[in-house]
Chains A and B, each alone.
Chain A
Amino acid sequence: MNDYQINICHLYPDLLNLYGDTGNIICMKSRLERRGIKCEVTGLSVGDKLNAADFDLFFIGGGQDFEQDALLKDADQNKKADIRAAIDDEKVFLCICGGYQIMGQYYRTWDGKQLDFMGLIDFYTEGHEKRMIGNYMFECDALIALDNAAEIKADDLIVGFENHSGQTFLGEGIKPIGKVLSGYGNNEKAEYEGMHYKNVFGAYCHGPMLPKNPRFCDLLLQTALDRKYGRGTVALTELDDTLENNAHNYMVNRLSK
Chain B
Amino acid sequence: MSIRVFLGVAAGKLSRHIMRLLGKGASTLPGKIGLSFCPDLLAHLAKDVRCIVVTGTNGKTTTSRMIEQTLIDSNASYFCNKSGANMMNGITTEFIMNSSLGGKAKKDFALIECDEAAFKYVSKQVDAECVVATNVFRDQLDRYGEITHTLNNIKIGLQNSVNATVCLNADCSLTASLKDEIDNPIVMYGVNLPIYKEHIKESSDAPYCIHCKHEYEYEYITFGHLGKYHCPNCGYSRPDPDIAVTDIYVSDADHSEIGITFETGKYHASVNLPGGYNIYNAVAAVTAASVMGFDVKTSIDALSTFECGFGRMEKFMLDDTETRMILIKNPAGCNQVLNFLSNINEKTLFVVCLNDNYADGTDISWIWDVDFESLQRIEDNLTGVLVSGIRADEMAMRFKYAGIPEEKIKVIKDYEKLIDEFTSQDAPVYIMPTYTAMMDLRAIVSKRFGYKNFWE
Find out whether the CB atom of A22 lies under 8 angstroms from the CB atom of B397.
Answer: no
The answer to whether B401 touches A22, judged by C-beta atoms less than 8 angstroms apart, is no
B203 within 8 A of A: yes
> In the assembled complex, which residues on chain B have CB atoms less than 8 Å from the CB atom of A134?
362
Report yes or no: A18 in contact with B141, Cβ–Cβ below 8 A.
yes
Give the interface SS of chain A, mostly helix, strand, loop or mixed. mixed
**Does any Cβ of B come within 8 Å of A178's Cβ?**
no
* A135 proximal to B (CB < 8 A): yes
Chain B residues near A46 (CB, 8 Å)? Answer: 215
**Known contacts A135-B362, A163-B363; is-contact A20 B368 (Cβ 8 Å):** yes
Which residues from B are CB-within-8-Å of A15?
Answer: 207-208
Bound complex: CA A66 to CA B411 (Å) = 39
Cβ contact of A206, chosen from B215, B363, B397, cutoff 8 A: B363
Q: Which residues of A contact B141 (CB under 8 A)?
A: 18-19, 163
**Contact status of A27 and B401, CB under 8 A, knowing A64-B147, A69-B213, A163-B142:** yes
A163 to chain B, nearest CB (A): 6
Q: Complex: how many Å from CA A161 to CA B363?
A: 7
- Min Cβ gap B173→A in Å is 13
How many whole Å from A61's CB to the nearest CB in chain B?
A: 11
Is A14 among interface residues, defined by CB-CB distance under 8 A? yes
**Across the interface, do B146 and A65 meet the contact criterion of CB distance under 8 Å?**
yes
Contact B142 A250 (CB under 8 A): no
**Which chain B residues lie closer than 8 Å to A18 at the CB level?**
138, 141
Whole-angstrom distance between the alpha carbons of A163 and B398 in the complex? 21
Which residues 1-51 of A have a CB within 8 angstroms of B?
A: 13-15, 17-23, 26-27, 30, 46
A77 beta carbon closer than 8 Å to chain B: no
A255 within 8 A of B: no
Assess whether B394 is in contact with A23, with CB atoms less than 8 Å apart: no
Q: For the complex, is B400 an interface residue (Cβ under 8 Å from A)?
A: yes
Given contacts A19-B141, A30-B401, contact A14 B207 (CB under 8 A): yes
Which B residues from 357 to 379 make CB contacts under 8 A with A?
362-369
Q: Does B406 contact A (CB under 8 A)?
A: yes
Q: Which of B142, B208, B391 contacts A133 (CB 8 A)?
A: B142
Say whether A207 faces chain B, with CB atoms less than 8 Å apart: yes
On whether the beta carbons of A247 and B394 are closer than 8 Å, the reply is yes
- Give the residues from 395 to 440 in chain B that come closer than 8 angstroms, CB to CB, to chain A: 396-398, 400-401, 406, 409, 411
Is the Cβ of A22 less than 8 Å from the Cβ of B368? yes
Kindly state the separation between the CA atoms of A243 and B203 in the bound complex, as whole angstroms: 27
Q: B304 on the interface (CB 8 Å rule)?
A: no
B257 within 8 A of A: no
Residues of B201-215 whose CB lies within 8 A of A: 203-204, 207-208, 213, 215
Q: Do B396 and A246 have beta carbons less than 8 Å apart?
A: yes
A70 contacts the other chain (Cβ, under 8 Å)? yes
Docked CA distance A65–B204 (Å): 16
Assess whether A208 is interfacial by the CB under 8 Å rule: yes
A19 to B330, CA, bound (A): 11
Number of B residues near A (Cβ < 8 Å) is: 31
Q: Which of A20, A66, A207, A208 contacts B148 (CB 8 A)?
A: A66
**Is residue B393 within 8 Å, beta carbon to beta carbon, of the partner chain?**
yes
**A25: nearest chain-B partner, CB-CB:** B368
Contact: B369 with A212, CB < 8 Å?
A: no
Interface residue A67 (Cβ < 8 Å from any Cβ of B): yes
CB pair A20 B369 closer than 8 Å? yes
A19/B208 contact (C-beta < 8 A), A27-B401, A244-B397, A250-B393 known = no
**Pairwise interchain contact A207-B393, C-beta atoms closer than 8 A:** no
Interface contact A14-B203, CB-CB below 8 Å: yes
Q: Which residue of A lies closest to B369 (CB)?
A: A20
Give A134 to B204 CA distance when docked, in angstroms. Answer: 25
In the complex, which residues of chain A have a beta carbon less than 8 angstroms from the beta carbon of B366? 19-20
**A67 / chain B contacts, CB cutoff of 8 Å:** 208, 213
Minimum CB–CB distance for A78 against chain B, Å: 15
Within 8 Å CB of A247, what residues of B? 393-394, 396-397
Distance A135 CA – B366 CA, assembled complex (angstroms): 14
The residue in chain A whose Cβ has the minimal distance to the Cβ of B146 is A64
A66 to B146, Cβ gap below 8 A?
yes
Contact residues in B for A70 (Cβ distance below 8 Å): 208, 213
By a CB distance below 8 angstroms, the chain B residues around A13 are 203
Extra inter-chain contacts (17) besides given A20-B366, A27-B401, CB under 8 Å: A14-B204, A19-B141, A19-B369, A20-B367, A21-B365, A21-B368, A22-B368, A22-B369, A23-B368, A23-B401, A26-B401, A64-B147, A66-B148, A161-B365, A163-B142, A212-B394, A240-B406
List the 4 closest pairs (A to B, CB-CB), nearest first.
A20-B368, A23-B368, A20-B365, A247-B393
Q: List 19 A-B contacts (CB under 8 A).
A: A14-B203, A15-B207, A17-B369, A18-B141, A19-B369, A20-B368, A21-B368, A26-B401, A64-B148, A70-B213, A133-B142, A133-B362, A134-B362, A161-B362, A212-B394, A243-B406, A246-B411, A247-B397, A250-B394
Q: Which residues of B contact A (CB under 8 A)?
A: 138, 141-142, 146-148, 203-204, 207-208, 213, 215, 362-369, 391, 393-394, 396-398, 400-401, 406, 409, 411
